[in-house]
Copies of this chain bind each other. A is one copy, B any other.
Amino acid sequence: MNTFGNRFRVSIFGESHGPRIGVTVDGVLPGMPLGEEDFAEDLGRRKAGALGTTPRTEDDFPQIVSGVYNGRTTGAPLTILFRNENTRSEDYEGFREHPRPGHADFTANLKFDGFNDPRGGGHFSGRLTLAIVAAGVVAKKMLYFAKFHAQLIEVGGLKDAAAWPDALKAAQEEGDSLGGIVECTVEGLPIGLGEPFWNSVESQVSHAVFSIPGVRGIEFGDGFQASRMKGSEHNDPFPEHHCCGRHKHPQPPVTNHAGGVNGGLTNGNPLVFRVAFKPTASIAKAGIPGRHDVCFALRTPVIVEAMAAIVLADLAL
C-alpha cells in the first residue's frame, strides 16, 4: 500500500509518464502558512540538469488542490499535484519482454500480471520522489524547531569532493555510472521521540529511506564500524552528576557514537545516519536507451532529508 505513517500520513500516486503524480498528506497541523513558493527550494535541489544528472527536466510546479485555505493549512488532507510533461515513452516500449537489469521491470511485470505501466518504470520510477520531497517540505514546516542537513560524502568511493567532477565525466564517457553515500544530520529534536521495540527511530527512518529507489544500506552513528569497536569505545557516557529524572534540563550524552538514539528513542544529540546508493542501473554501455543520471545519488540528499522529516513529524505528533 502506498501510504506511510500513522499520525502524519503520506500517500503517493502516479506513474513516471502518466498525466500526474501527486501526494496526499494527512495529519497536517492547521494554521501553518503554506503556498506553492514554499516548495521551490527543496524541489530545486532535487532537479536534474547539473553534471552527472539526467537532461530530462520538468517544471515540477506543485499544484495544491486541497487542505489549504486563505494561505494556511486547514488540518484536512493536503493534496499536491505535479504534471508530467517532458516524457518520451517510446524509449521504454521494448522493456516488458527484455527487462532492464537493476530495475523493477522483471518483478513488477510478474507481480502485476503484465498490467503494470512500463513507461519509465511506471509507479516504480524515481520520479515519484518528487512527491516525497513535497511532503518533506510540509513535514519540515511542522518541525520548525529542527534543522535538517543531508549531503553527499562519497561519490564512486571518493571522499574528496574535488575529485568528483572528473570521476563523473569519466563514467559518462565510458557509458557507465557511479554510486554514492549521503550523510544526514537532524539537530534540535526533543528527547524521547520514537516508540519502544517495533517503532524505534531507526526502524522508522530505515523503513522510509529504503523506499527511495536504489538504496543498498543504512547505518546510524558509528554504524557498521560500531561492530568493530569495544564497548568502552562505543558507549556514550552521560555528563557527571547526571540525574535524569530530577533535572529540569536533562543533558544528553557527551559523545554521539549512537547517532542520537538510545533504546530507539531520541536522546537529545543530533540524529546522524548514512545511506548508501547504488550506481545508476541504466547505463549506455549496456545498451539501455533513455535519459538517465550518471550518478542519481547527486540528487538524493534532499530526498533523504524529506524522508527523515516525514518520519519525525509522524513521531512528533
| CA of A215 to CA of B177, assembled, Å | 31
- Interface residue A35 (Cβ < 8 Å from any Cβ of B): no
Known A106-B244, A262-B102; judge A217-B215 contact (CB<8 A).
no
Report, as a range, how many residues of chain A touch the other chain. Answer: 35 or more
Q: Select which of B107, B112, B215, B279 is within 8 A of A231 by beta carbon.
A: B279
A106 / chain B contacts, CB cutoff of 8 Å? 238, 244, 250, 253, 262, 267
A12 / chain B contacts, CB cutoff of 8 Å? 77, 197-198
- Interface residue A30 (Cβ < 8 Å from any Cβ of B): yes
- The answer to whether B223 touches A216 (Cβ under 8 A) is yes
Q: Give A43-83 as 1s and 0s: 1 = Cβ < 8 Å from B's Cβ atoms.
A: 00000000000000000000001110100111111110100
- Interface residue A97 (Cβ < 8 Å from any Cβ of B): yes
A279 / chain B contacts, CB cutoff of 8 Å? 226-227, 229-231, 233-234
| CA of A187 to CA of B72, assembled, Å | 34
Known A3-B198, A76-B122, A180-B227; judge A107-B262 contact (CB<8 A).
yes
| CA of A4 to CA of B204, assembled, Å | 12
- A201: nearest chain-B partner, CB-CB: B210
Known A180-B227, A231-B176; judge A203-B197 contact (CB<8 A).
no
- Interface residue A290 (Cβ < 8 Å from any Cβ of B): no
- The answer to whether B14 touches A11 (Cβ under 8 A) is no
Chain A stretch 143-174: residues in CB contact (< 8 A) with chain B: 154, 156-157, 171, 174
Chain A stretch 233-260: residues in CB contact (< 8 A) with chain B: 233-238, 242-246, 250, 253, 258-259
| CA of A285 to CA of B234, assembled, Å | 13
Q: Which of A1, A204, A217 has the most CB of B within 10 A?
A: A217
- The answer to whether B113 touches A30 (Cβ under 8 A) is yes
A93 nearest CB across to chain B (Å): 12
Q: Select which of B98, B211, B224, B246 is within 8 A of A217 by beta carbon.
A: B224
Task: With A156-B230, A231-B282 given, name 14 new contacts (CB 8 A).
Answer: A1-B198, A22-B66, A74-B123, A98-B238, A102-B235, A177-B232, A202-B210, A216-B226, A217-B224, A219-B276, A226-B278, A231-B285, A235-B281, A235-B283
Please give me the 10 A-B residue pairs with the lowest Cβ-Cβ distance, nearest first: A104-B263, A217-B219, A157-B228, A177-B231, A76-B123, A107-B265, A111-B192, A179-B227, A30-B115, A206-B206
